[in-house]
Structure 1
Amino acid sequence: MRAVVQHGLEPDQVSLAILDDPEPGEDDVIIEVLAAGVCGSDLHQWHGHPSWAVEPPVVLGHEFCGRVVAAGDRVAGFQLGDRVVSETAAHVDMHSPLARVGSYNIDPERRGFGTRVNGGMAERARVPARCLHHLPDGVPTVIGGIVEPVAVAYNAVVVRSAIKPGDIVVVLGPGPIGLLCCWLAHLAGAGEVLVAGLPSDESRMGHAKALGATFTHTGDPEALPDIARDLSDGLGAHTVIDAAGVSASFVTAMDAVRPGGSITKVGWGPQPLNASLDPIVAKAITVNGCFSHTWPTWEAVVGLVGRRFDEIMPMIGWRGPLEHWIDGFEAMESGTAVKSVLLPSGVAEADSIS
């Protein structure tokens, strides 16, 4: 089979390769991959500075959907031909203390698709059946390639935050996760949703407004706290969702949030912060970390996407066959596409709804 493989940890060690087709274990399903979304972390691996541990050679891709073509003897609940979407926790010790309480997403021994286990940028993928959820009829297959980032955003906004109707919400970073956080904050009833980014993000603010942003800001980050206070009762945002990929945005979050408010950090930032955390103490700010997702979140998200997929479809700015993977990566890196989706089984499948 053809697959997009990272061969080493240095830059530009990604290429299209031919691999043996995977075989299912007793608890596994083999899927014909129909759509695989490109994540910012895939770009980081391409450039040799991954966001987390990588064990090459490995097939990239942790945002994917497909059709069941084979199943292990102990698999139940899935039939040949079913369209499915996959979670990202490829390997989990289901007997660990965290997994036993449903928090397998933050188990230290978790290994994810596309980094330490072969992922979904391939014609076929082996997936534990516990990772799979049915893609509802009526949802275009290409949408299955972006369900995973919706689950990330849902965990940040709905599970890890406490947004109430009428709240003032600030979202830092209009990348795919930030835009989806904007959408979900709007659906959760936020009274105002302010999405903030850099001047280079201006082209994305049309997407933000379509997804529910009431205000956008691409100017001086130091002006953002005053804007948040002007939108509120003078105290600032009830919740700040930090979806930016830099550590410095956390300082902006501390300044923009109101006393007694909360910050949910879902964006990665490897740089040292070099700032005081005293505002957390002085303002009694609640800080919530957020990583990945779990089965209940996925079930909620699959249902939500089944009803409202048309609202997020415009985020997909590039789609194409597996052999054009580099075009999809470059489209996201240049900003011409918010999301790129590879179609390993051919572009004809992209708009299939069953």
Structure 2
Amino acid sequence: MSSSKNAAVVNYAEKKHSVEIREIPVPEIDVNDILLEVENVGVCGSDLHQWTSDHSWPVNYPVVLGHEFGGKIAALGKNVKSWKVGDRVVSETAAIIDSQNPMSKVGLYNLDPTRKGFGYGVNGAMTRFVKVPARCLHSVPENLSFEEACLTEPSCVAYNAVVGNSSIKPGDRVIVIGPGTIGILCAAVARLCGAEVAIIGLEADKGRLEIAKKYGCEPIIGNAENWARKRDGLGADLVIDAAGVSETLKVALSLVRPNGQITKVGWGPTPCNFSLDPLVQKNVRLQGSFSHNWPIWERVISLLASGALDVKPIIGGIWPITEWHEAFEKMHSGKVVKSVLKPV
């Protein structure tokens, strides 16, 4: 390690725009941890929500942002036997879990209510060195670049939403609301499952909708009623709500067919203020989808390494960590789908 200090992107308070570069010490690792030298870290919508202070989860301030990351192992805790220094890895996000929690015991540690993740509960990876529990690691094949590998995490969110938590069959008609990273990746995974897919955005999302077209999706600005009812007049088999607002659930309820499904993966702290009666009247299944676990990561890394799931089109640029503000702004304004940072 060349330095005892780390330049880090730190969210230091709840007040809006309380993010800055700070020098922090290289973390000390425990016996079951590894020290990871970060190669790349993706900017997530949740990082932006913490920056603009419109998030709906507790944050342990001050905290280093960043939970979409990969790199090389720089040091090992004394109990870590399954890895070696120099190994190329990506990390899951569940930094702290209770192994005795009933959810953890059945492998769904992502749903452990006491779970704490990188970037809000413990220090994340928008820095050069990060402490990671060895249980969180997955090997990155040599043919997969770290720029792509750091998008394993959002790809796992999409995979779990579409494959794990939705009922989807080849030939289904699927509408995705919201052309951000998760929305476009959900659309891409739905296409891999053999569905016809449309993705809805606003006028301001034109650039991001163009990128969605590269995955074989129909981009729609505004009203998607015609597309939803095109086959038999009844609506889409599945609507995936990947927008960061609550009111899009009302749109989803109007677009889904009777006996169809809505999977909600986007966060929005605002109350809904509308009736859920259409959910009852249409006999619709409303499903939440949160995070991911070990087997999903292994599947997604295989998809990325084989090229079956190509994340390169959504990467809008790579910025040094010191230029985090521009990377955040570019994503926040919709100019790019995904910003990626590189430690310096």
Coarse TM-score class (shorter-chain normalised): over 0.9
What does the per-residue CA deviation read over 1:134-165, in whole Å, with 9 as the maximum and x for residues that have no partner?
11110111112211100100000010011100
Other structure's SS at 1:89 match: coil
2:134 equivalent to 1:129? yes
Match of 1:188 in 2: 193
2:36 equivalent to 1:37? no
TM-score, normalised to structure 2, is: 0.96
**TM alignment of 1:38-77, pairs within 5 A:** 38-77=43-82
What does the per-residue CA deviation read over 1:185-230, in whole Å, with 9 as the maximum and x for residues that have no partner?
000111x2011111111111111110120x22103x3xx2332011
How many equivalent residue pairs? 339
2:214 equivalent to 1:210? yes
> In the aligned structure 2, how far is the partner of 1:226 from the partner of 1:254?
15
Q: Does the Cα contact within 8 Å between 1:143 and 1:309 map onto a contact in 2? A: no
Q: Does the Cα contact within 8 Å between 1:226 and 1:256 map onto a contact in 2? A: no
Match of 1:321 in 2: 320
Match of 1:139 in 2: 144
> In the aligned structure 2, how far is the partner of 1:76 from the partner of 1:251?
51
- Paired amino acid for 1:198: L
Q: CA separation of 1:288/1:160 partners in 2, compared to 1, >3 Å: closer, same or farther?
A: same
> In the aligned structure 1, how far is the partner of 2:182 from the partner of 2:56?
15
What does the per-residue CA deviation read over 1:236-290, in whole Å, with 9 as the maximum and x for residues that have no partner?
1111111011111111111111111111000111111111111111111111100
> In the aligned structure 2, how far is the partner of 1:49 from the partner of 1:253?
23
Match of 1:282 in 2: 281
Q: CA separation of 1:125/1:208 partners in 2, compared to 1, >3 Å: closer, same or farther?
A: same
Match of 2:203 in 1: 199
* Runs of 4+ residues over 3 Å off in structure 1: none
**TM alignment of 1:1-354, pairs within 5 A:** 1-190=6-195, 192-213=196-217, 215-219=218-222, 221=223, 224-230=224-230, 232-308=231-307, 311-345=310-344
> In the aligned structure 2, how far is the partner of 1:112 from the partner of 1:31?
16
RMSD after superposition = 1.2
TM-score, normalised to structure 1, is: 0.93
> In the aligned structure 2, how far is the partner of 1:54 from the partner of 1:123?
21
Range with greater deviation from structure 2 (2-11 or 148-157): 2-11
Match of 2:3 in 1: none
Q: Does the Cα contact within 8 Å between 2:55 and 2:269 map onto a contact in 1? A: no
- Which residues of structure 2 form unaligned runs of 5+? 1-5
